[in-house]
Structure 1
Amino acid sequence: MPTAAATSDAPRRRRFAATGRVRSGCLTCKARKKKCDERYTADGNRCQTCARLSLVCERVPLRRVVPKKKPRDASRSPSPSTSPSSSPLPSSDPDAGQQETQQDEGEVETSVLTSIPAQTRANNNNGFIALFSLENASPERILLKYYVERLASLCSILQEGSNEFRNVLLPMAIDDSSLLYALFAYASKHLHTSDPAPFSISPLARLKFESEAARGLSEAIRLNNVSESTIACALICSTAEVVSGDTTRWFVHLQGAGHLINQRGGPDRLRQTSDGLFLLRNFAYHDILAALSTGGRPRISGIYWVEDGPISADCLMGVAHELLGHISDICILIADASDNDYCYEADLIHRGESLAQKLKTQPLNLRTTLSSTELGILLHHAEAFRFAGLLHLYRFLSQFSPTAYALRVSECVEGIITHVSQVPLSFHCEVGLVFPLFMAGIAGVDDVTKTYIRNRLNNIFSWTRFEHITRVTELLELLWATGRTDWETMVRDLEWKVSLA
């Protein structure tokens, strides 16, 4: 027999593993194979680890005790509800308890997404659907809800009907996490403008969303795996910078979206799907207005975003598709004059007059199911764009003959104000009037017109909280204070790239 000393020196068997695993920790830490500290926040929603990492903290749901059912007559055939696989009675298998424990610790996804159909869970493994099914309000869920319920509607000038910023971008985000993070970053930048803000997103969390979106973009480019959702991600990154009031980075993202479209196969490839057509319209709208405000040329020329036949109302262009095509040609004319010093003045005037005639006589070929009221307002929006494009062209031509075009510029200002005044205040279409209002404001208008333009821009900002409208207003105020109209020179002096979208 061993002695007492030998017995005390023998190693003792440990009941628990040395890794420190606990059965009462949260499912999120278990899924990450990390030890849960089990120190929950004041509201009890998250452990300290999940709170520090901004993760959704999930715990094992409470189980309902099901009373035992009386066994049925053995002579009866078993029904589906009494089959062995669905019986609530405990199994007689001695390993059943061990198997149940392993299931509790390992199958985290099943316990977290119990309310989601199995097929849906299999098709959406990036957690997108879980953001809506979980009861705890994570930052991601709040941002996605904010984008769906508020921000997406602010991006469209249509008052009624479907919103492509929801119907197109959200399904894409299910399959592309980089686009999903771009939507998070977009919503987080606009969320703080709400008064009062329903939720506070830390700068670190916002940086995380932006970094993940950028990482997904770079990875898609590196692997030559550019998809429609990759293009959408670049466009959302650009728009997020625009509405936050940035005057540089938004243009870089927009140029990147143009590169991605070409890498994807160009407009012809995107036109094969309805989602691709939406992305083309989105890019074309911002690309043309960016070329106008920067003095460059559009990345892609022509009216490549429309098909033959009547044109449907769009959430960005309204019914002004073909008018924007002519404005694109005007930008190319001005860029040609800047790039080629040898251009003859007579040739430039001839090209300009030809473009002016096309823009003035362009009919609006419509196909829409909108109400007559909204369609009438969209027509005023399109006419304001027509006069704004003509004003930009006449200002360029006036350098060759100031007297000949002074009256035409005044007529364009009058036309813009007339049509803008027909758009009701805080109507969704009003958000698309920044470009016409700015063009009217740079034409040396009187104090009454200045006050009207200032009040109208302030009203758009008051209900959209898009900060680029503040930059546009600041630029106009500088021009008015100094009595200048050479806004292109002032923008270069400020080293700004102002978005007029």
Structure 2
Amino acid sequence: MSTSEYLSHVALMPESDIAEMARRGHLKDSNALRGQEKDQDPQNNPILKNFPRVSHWDFTDWDPVEQYLLNHFLEVVSRSFVVVFDDENPFLQEILPKASNVRSVRHALLALTACHLCKLYPNFEGSVVRHQSLALFLLKKDLESGNDIENTLVVSLLLCLFEICQGNSRKWILHLYGSKALIDVFLSQGTGRKLSQFLLDLYKFICCKAMITCEKVPVMPSGFESLQDVEPESISSIHPLVGLAGDLYNKLADISHLAVQRMSRHATAISAGIFTDKAAELEAYLQSWQAPKYGHNRRLFNEAVYAAEAIRWAALLRLYQVVDGCAINPEKRQNALNRVEYFISQIRPGSSLEAQLLFPLFMAGLSATRRAELLSIEYRITVLESTVGTGNITGAHKLLDLFWERSQWGSGNVDWEFLLQEKHANVVLY
């Protein structure tokens, strides 16, 4: 897709469509909504004072609802997508300053935030419509002008997250292809400017997660930086998006490519052999992978290790599914399931590392059969629905619940990917 094709698609998108939003909305009658709406002087905003890269003067033209949405972004939304503390959070350190002086970024950020808030307070649907409409309108203008590709990319990625946050929309893939087109244009310009590494990583991260449930995701560029080449005694830093699991996400992308190939692997003996060899190579890598041993913040680092280990064993469960289908070796499956459950149990509910747990919990949910296992998995997913709070988690929960229902009352093995396409085709394990 080119940027001109992206513009054509964006121009056709309805600017006030929230019918696809996954809702909980159990606070729709909250008395807190009846509080007085008064202008808040940004200079006296105690939350904004924690971010020296922006000035309170940058937000003086934001109305009371926008200022409340800004607070919700600072306190909740920006932290829902990363595993690090605020001083290393690119949504706060890099995206927030852009939102303060670039209108298209401002409205895309506010649309995402209102969508997140709408899960509890349906009363904010008007804000969702308003800011999504303005973000799309300004995105069209930016695409037409071709100015400042990097800011346009920020808008595209935020709108991609917005559609994922809705939980029931497939428009995220349009914005993902649009983001790829913008990245290609930026890299081809040869201006000497370097594209934000965070934006590249965010694009790659969305691709990697989306590939698990969608075959039509654009090709992911080179993977995340490997931690396996780091000296054993050196201090490892925690990546804002992937934590300590960059290598594992690279392999997870390989497993997703393998899943696409499996339909034709028996076409010839050669293709079957290549498939088998690649699967064996991936299994050997995942079985032998070791997390880094040292990090700056011990508590956060330990939980990052637990999350990476949960992802590792969940990736093995996914690999077994791709290779063996419903005929997975029960001992291998149970061993991997036990490891996933153990490492997730070591991560505190409410931890920033919960941002990485949807994929491991989902794979564990597909592999578990005992009541205690299922209840434990469902409880942690329900916690994620509250702490991370995005609609795609609700969609994944519904898909798992349908899988459990069919498994318990149906006959024979249940193909979760068939259920995905039949009932919940828009689920993204982000």
TM-score normalised by L of structure 2 = 0.77
Aligned pair partner of 1:246 in 168, 177, 187: 168
Aligned pair partner of 2:220 in 280, 283, 300: 300
Instruction: Give 1 or 2 for the bigger CA radius of gyration.
Output: 1
Which residue does 1:349 correspond to in 2? Answer: 276
Whether 2:316 is the aligned partner of 1:390: answer yes
Kindly report which structure 2 residues correspond to 1:95-494, keeping only aligned pairs within 5 A, or say none. 130=57, 132-133=59-60, 137-159=63-85, 161-194=87-120, 200-201=123-124, 203=126, 205-225=127-147, 227-265=149-187, 272=194, 276-296=196-216, 299-303=219-223, 310=230, 312-338=237-263, 342-343=267-268, 344-365=271-292, 368-369=295-296, 371-399=297-325, 402=327, 405-483=329-407, 484-494=413-423
Deviation, 1:240, is 1.7
- d(CA) in 2 for partners of 1:234, 1:457: 28
Deviation, 1:287, is 0.6
1:144-174 deviations in Å (ceiling 9; x for gaps) = 2221233212222225643211111012224
Deviation, 1:340, is 6.7
Deviation, 1:184, is 1.2
Q: 1:297 to 1:208 in 2, by over 3 A?
A: closer
**Secondary structure of 1:281 counterpart:** helix
One-letter amino acid matched to 1:213: A
**Secondary structure of 2:237 counterpart:** coil
CA contact (8 A) 1:213 1:233 kept: yes
Q: 1:155 to 1:114 in 2, by over 3 A?
A: closer
- d(CA) in 2 for partners of 1:300, 1:268: 21
Q: 1:302 to 1:367 in 2, by over 3 A?
A: farther
- d(CA) in 1 for partners of 2:160, 2:223: 22
Deviation, 1:128, is 9.1
**Secondary structure of 1:156 counterpart:** coil
Deviation, 1:289, is 1.1
Q: 1:382 to 1:267 in 2, by over 3 A?
A: farther
The structure that is helix-richer by fraction is 2
One-letter amino acid matched to 1:384: A
CA contact (8 A) 1:298 1:332 kept: no
Higher relative contact order (CA 8 A, sep 6+): 2
1:220-268 deviations in Å (ceiling 9; x for gaps) = 3233335222112111111122222224122322232222222221799
- d(CA) in 1 for partners of 2:242, 2:89: 13
Whether 2:391 is the aligned partner of 1:496: answer no
- d(CA) in 2 for partners of 1:114, 1:423: 37
CA contact (8 A) 2:37 2:64 kept: no
Deviation, 1:427, is 1.4
Report the RMSD for the aligned CA atoms in angstroms. 3.4
Deviation, 1:443, is 1.8
Kindly report which structure 2 residues correspond to 1:61-80, keeping only aligned pairs within 5 A, or say none. none
Deviation, 1:277, is 0.9
**Secondary structure of 1:173 counterpart:** helix
Q: 1:201 to 1:460 in 2, by over 3 A?
A: closer
- d(CA) in 2 for partners of 1:316, 1:365: 17
One-letter amino acid matched to 1:235: L
One-letter amino acid matched to 1:389: A
1:16-71 deviations in Å (ceiling 9; x for gaps) = xxxxxxxxxxxxxxxxxxxxxxxxxxx8979xxxxxxxxx9xxxxxxxxxxxxxxx
Deviation, 1:444, is 4.6
One-letter amino acid matched to 1:335: V
**Secondary structure of 2:417 counterpart:** helix
Deviation, 1:271, is 9.6
- d(CA) in 1 for partners of 2:37, 2:372: 58
- d(CA) in 1 for partners of 2:70, 2:240: 20
**Secondary structure of 1:303 counterpart:** coil
| Unaligned runs of at least 5 residues, structure 1 | 1-42, 47-55, 57-111, 116-126
**Secondary structure of 2:239 counterpart:** coil
One-letter amino acid matched to 1:144: L
- d(CA) in 1 for partners of 2:281, 2:248: 14
